[in-house]
Amino acid sequence: MRSTGLVLGVLMFLLSGQANAQGWQEFYSPEDRFVLSFPGTPTIEETEWIDQDGQTRTARSYTAERAGNTYTLIAVDYEDAPYNLARGSYDHAAYIYRMKGEVTFDSWAASDRVDGHHLQITLPDTRRIFFAAHYSVGRLYIIEANVSARTAPPIQFQQSMIFIDKEGERIRYTETGERLIRTDDLPEALGGPDYDAPILEAGSDVYIP
């Protein structure tokens, strides 16, 4: 019953999401445990990724196109990886992408305080890549927007990323690395379940007394 409620909670979140008038829509992958806004329903393909040790890892790519621009998320399976290899996976991804062109922005980044890295790269043909990579709960997520030189930065694409755990609950952390859940994450279908995490008011970092 609890898993059913969690799924309903995720679906309710999606239905109340931020799809805008231009057709962006939130896509939920239960297999790879994420929610991300795409400009249309993404095409899903099986693919591979070479990790830091030269080993081939299974992966899935999710790709949507609009006006000659391509928006892709690659989810790489690191479930069986040693801790240090998994934690270093997003740095390795950034290293691979730096070789694609001229790096104009290069910085550590976090989404819901899940560590990662951001890059902006100008390709030899003047197109640009906006790159983000994060590791969470057995998955490396590589987010790539490949856009024309005149296209505005795809902020909606990068900033819409939501990480989901194996139970279907949204993943967020406090500044000290403690797992937290806000009231707007709670599936209403469950009527307020018990969570082994701090509970915060919606949109807030203030704990409920």
Note whether 145 and 156 are within 8 A (CB).
no
Predicted TM-score (pTM) of this structure: 0.77
Compute the Cα dihedral for 139, 147, 162, 97 and give only its sign: positive
* DSSP bridge partners of 140: 76, 135
With respect to residue 50, please indicate whether it lies within any of the assigned structural domains. Answer: yes
The 10s digit of each residue's pLDDT in 31-85 is 999 999 999 999 999 999 999 999 999 999 999 999 999 999 999 999 999 999 9
Beta partners for 109? 116
Give a yes or no: residue 30 inside a domain.
yes
CATH, residue 136: 3.40.1000
Q: Range of 102's domain?
A: 26-163
Q: Is residue 97 part of a domain?
A: yes
State the total domains in the chain.
1
140 assigned to some structural domain: yes
pLDDT at 76: 98
In a domain, 155, yes or no: yes
Q: Where are the alpha helices (DSSP H) in 65-148?
A: 83-87, 89-98
> Which positions ≥6 away from 158 have C-beta within 8 Å?
118, 130, 132, 143, 145
C-alpha 173/C-alpha 13 separation (Å) is: 19
Q: Would residue 41 count as lying in a domain?
A: yes
Establish if 106 belongs to a structural domain.
Answer: yes
Q: Report yes or no on 92 lying in a domain.
A: yes
